[in-house]
Amino acid sequence: MTVLTDARIVLPDGVHHGDLHIADGKITTAAAVSDETIDLGGRHVVPGFVDMHVHGGGGASYQLGRPDEARRAAAFHLAHGTTTTIASLVSGGPDELRDAVTGLADLADDGVIAGVHLEGPYLAPDRRGAHDPALLRAPDLAEFRRLHRLGRGHLRMITLAPELPGALDLVKEAADTGVIAAVGHTDAPGAVARAAFDAGARVATHLFNAMRPLHHREGGPIAAALNDPRVTIELINDGVHVEPAVARLAFTTAGPSRVALITDAMAATGMPDGDYRLGVMDVEVRGGSAVLAGGTSLAGSVITMADAFRQTVVHLGVPVHEAAEATSRTPARALGLDTRIGSLEPGKDADLVVLDDDFRVDWVMKRGRRV
């Protein structure tokens, strides 16, 4: 038994001052004499962050599914409070995606990551963002089924543009096989986006970015997602992808129970400014912003979930417990993992982050062990 004393415990209904008990890697109630007591001196304890959309970090990428790189990226984000990671892949050729999904499934078996997210290749060319246009293609059920089989139950999510031929059939197939279909990189009008949600899509990939913008006579996928209580909304709150007023709009409209903060972080996260790669695309990182070389298209972010959490509390003014919901409980629920992670409630894994007075990471615990 480990007891964290004098803690500000961030629970779904607010912040509670008291003690947090941990036994056998789980949050528990006080039922035994403690072996270790840690006095937190009034610091906040939040649930471990859950990042459902991240491409890499610490100089390493998930794109090729190489175990050494993937472990390095996951370890980097774990040290910054992300105790549950979904490895995201940008659009790739059939062989590249096959190899990456196969390799990452092995790491999911080992608990390094919690699954795989295919961001593409079934995306709208005009909303491709940092994806190579030569690798984009129409939805292919045979390819999806092959990747799903190779993922051995670890393929968690696929982002696609619902207006493409065959996209709605793939949405239904994904929903039927337990894979989350996400609407993103899309030029779909509102009616098509709504049809995708009715067909089983349950996530909007990085809302506002790489999609048809909101217009008062055609709401597009943004209005469709914000108005649908079934849909979880990804939000990159780095101060670059979405300005604070728009981020507040998402929280006000959908609430923290539907906003899932993500990083969309690339390998350059935690690294100096310089030139990097996202998939096959060259990326320039300067002053906290990653853009395609020689262009203006954003190429993911260079933030951690800890950065997203702090940005939300300090710069948006979102209450601490609501920011914790958006960084932990909401993405966990979207992924179907909320019975085990996402909040500091008895019976759940002891995945947690201790924050200092400035809401920065002090230390991290995963399944009851300090990282």
The secondary structure of 86-152 as a DSSP string is EEEE----HHHHHHHHHHHHHHHHTTSSS-EEEE-SS--GGG-TTS-GGG-----HHHHHHHHHHHT
Q: Is 217 annotated as a binding residue?
A: yes
Q: Is 210 annotated as a binding residue?
A: yes
Q: Which two tokens stand for residue 330?
A: 């909401």
Q: Is 337 annotated as a binding residue?
A: no
CB 33 within 8 A of CB 25: no
Q: Is 44 annotated as a binding residue?
A: no
Q: Is 332 annotated as a binding residue?
A: no
| CA 154/CA 163 separation, integer angstroms | 26
- 3-state class (DSSP) for residue 158: strand
Q: Is 107 annotated as a binding residue?
A: no
Q: Is 261 annotated as a binding residue?
A: no
CB 338 within 8 A of CB 329: yes
Q: Is 227 annotated as a binding residue?
A: no
Find where tokens 């710069």 sit.
315
Measured from the Cβ of residue 287, the count of other Cβ atoms closer than 10 Å reads: 7
117-146 burial code (b ≥16 CB/10 A, e <16): bbbbbbbbeebbbbbbeebbeebeeebbee
Q: Is 300 annotated as a binding residue?
A: yes
Among residues 238, 264, 338, 349, the one annotated as catalytic is 264
- 3-state class (DSSP) for residue 61: strand
Examine residue 121 and say whether the peptide bond preceding it is cis (omega within 30 degrees of 0): yes
| CA 233/CA 202 separation, integer angstroms | 9
Instruction: Decide if 349 is catalytic.
Output: no
Q: Is 299 annotated as a binding residue?
A: yes
| CA 231/CA 322 separation, integer angstroms | 18
CB 207 within 8 A of CB 184: no
CB 80 within 8 A of CB 117: no
**Which H/E stretch holds residue 9?**
strand 2-11
Q: Is 294 annotated as a binding residue?
A: no
Known binding-site residues for Zn(2+) equal 119, 185, 206
Active site residues: 264
Known binding-site residues for substrate equal 130, 209-210, 217, 241, 298-300
Known binding-site residues equal 119, 130, 185, 206, 209-210, 217, 241, 298-300
